[in-house]
Amino acid sequence: MQRRNFIKDSGLCLAGLTILQDLHNLTKIDDHRKEGVVIATWNNQKAVEAAWKVLQENGSALNAVEEGARVPEADEKDTSVGYGGYPDREGIVTLDASIMDHEGNAGSVFFLQGIKHPISVARLVMEKTPHVYLAGEGARLFAIENGFKEENLLSEGSNKEYQEWKKKNNYSPVIGPKVHDTIGILAIDKETRLSGACSTSGLAFKMHGRVGDSPIIGSGLYVDNMIGAASATGLGEAVIKKVGSFSIVEMMRTGHSPKKACKKAIERLLDIKGPKDFQVGYIALSKEGEVGAYSLQPNFPYVVIREGKFELKYANSYF
């Protein structure tokens, strides 16, 4: 009898402790959300800091992710995004970007040339047109009509690399380089609105006209304000085939944590035919402010700011 009571009491104690722990976790989550959370692919420290600043000034998650993505777009040294991005095999820099807000609105530009901030053009597509995607010349004209300046985006450094590449590579596009820098950036603001942005110059020395995953809603980026958001970097062709970001958010909907959902989405890449030496990295952020990431190959860094604290982390990887 005593033993049974003891077991019953300790069971009750354990249940009590679990409830307390849950309450503690909930408060922690609420603390995160009081100030917002930002996560981005690669070591985009300055980008998450810019986004965080917007959140601290009571700006929206949408303004935060746009502001964040604009940082590497303007950075000449980032050779995978915006100005300074490596050109295609014709020597032309072509940019892809997408953005989504907490209401499920979306806008993208594909194959945009001569405009430094594709993410801001993508936002205008979302806010000022009845469309979701604008490509190529149409996107460029739309940007100019809306006051964007045309610029030469091929930096001296990237042109030098391109000239070297031309000598050695016999015009064959590079498939699956292991170095990527595309920015995917996700944020939740003080009002628990989720938004995301993704911006890239795509694969270095790609075929002219090639578009990757980054501007494709559901592949490079997806946001569902009820559940969470996800973004991708790496070999776009692989991400597109598996509709990576959408599948992560859907797995979060069934109860998986952001990290587990990213891991499962990475595992889905394994049945893609051909060698597996390409890289894909996913990041995700839940409505509760929990972050996660996972990659196919090791050494995929991502950056987070929560409660004012910046962290550079390395995702676990399949290989």
Q: Give residues in contact with ligand ASP (CB under 6 A).
A: 80, 180-182, 200, 202-203, 212-214, 233-236
The answer to whether 229 and 285 are in contact (CB under 8 A) is: yes
The residue annotated as part of the active site, out of 41, 94, 182, 233, is 182
Q: Could you give the 3-state DSSP secondary structure of residue 184?
A: strand
User: Which residue type is seen at 289?
Assistant: G
Question: Minimum Å distance from CB 146 to ligand ASP?
Answer: 24
The sign one gets for the Cα dihedral 63, 130, 152, 79 is positive
Q: How far is residue 200 from each of residues 10, 39, 82, 85, 216, measured CA to CA in Å? A: 56, 17, 6, 8, 12
**What number of other Cβ atoms are within 10 A of residue 29's Cβ?**
16
Of the two residues 220 and 289, which places its CB atom closer to ligand ASP in the complex?
Answer: 220
Question: Minimum Å distance from CB 217 to ligand ASP?
Answer: 14
Of the two residues 200 and 295, which places its CB atom closer to ligand ASP in the complex?
Answer: 200
Q: Could you give the 3-state DSSP secondary structure of residue 20?
A: helix
Question: Minimum Å distance from CB 125 to ligand ASP?
Answer: 18
Distance CA 149, CA 27 (A): 46
Question: Minimum Å distance from CB 80 to ligand ASP?
Answer: 5
- What lies within 8 Å, CB to CB, of 79 at 6+ separation is 85, 86, 157, 158, 161, 181, 201, 204
**Whose CA is closest to 122, among 100, 152, 155?**
100
Question: Minimum Å distance from CB 250 to ligand ASP?
Answer: 20
Helix-strand-coil split of the chain, %, nearest 5: 40, 20, 40
Question: Minimum Å distance from CB 40 to ligand ASP?
Answer: 12
Question: Minimum Å distance from CB 211 to ligand ASP?
Answer: 8
Of the two residues 52 and 110, which places its CB atom closer to ligand ASP in the complex?
Answer: 110
Distance CA 239, CA 178 (A): 14
Q: How far is residue 5 from each of residues 8, 143, 171, measured CA to CA in Å? A: 5, 73, 78
The answer to whether 296 and 319 are in contact (CB under 8 A) is: yes
Of the two residues 124 and 183, which places its CB atom closer to ligand ASP in the complex?
Answer: 183
Of the two residues 213 and 224, which places its CB atom closer to ligand ASP in the complex?
Answer: 213
Q: What is the 3-state secondary structure (H, E, C) of 196-259?
A: EEEEECCCCCCCCCCCCCCCCECCCEEEECCCEEEEEEECHHHHHHCCHHHHHHHHHHCCCCHH
Is 182 known to be catalytic? yes
Of the two residues 82 and 202, which places its CB atom closer to ligand ASP in the complex?
Answer: 202
Of the two residues 203 and 251, which places its CB atom closer to ligand ASP in the complex?
Answer: 203
User: Which residue type is seen at 38?
Assistant: V
Catalytic residue IDs: 182
